[in-house]
Amino acid sequence: MVSFTVQPDSTIADLKALRSPGDAFTREAFRLLREGPKWVTARIGGSPAAAVVTVIFVFRQTRNNS
């Protein structure tokens, strides 16, 4: 579970791990957020505004059937 702020210009900042099974999972969640598409900016009174977002990532192990 991570939280971050979506800035008025649609970029993200202040990434924080709220819960994680380990550093590798946290790094991967942060990488996905940084490299992913821009976020839709919140609006207050019609103007772009910063907003805090919390996202839960679920990592699943896949089986290799070789």
5-54 per-position pLDDT tens digit: 999 999 999 999 999 999 999 999 999 999 999 898 999 999 999 999 99
Burial class (CB in 10 A: 0-12, 13-18, 19+), 6: buried
Distance of alpha carbon 66 from alpha carbon 56, whole angstroms? 31
Tell me the average pLDDT across 50-64: 89
Place of tokens 């990488």: 31
pTM assigned to the model: 0.82
- 21: nearest Cα among 61, 63, 64, 62: 61
| DSSP label at residue 36 | S
pLDDT of residue 61: 79
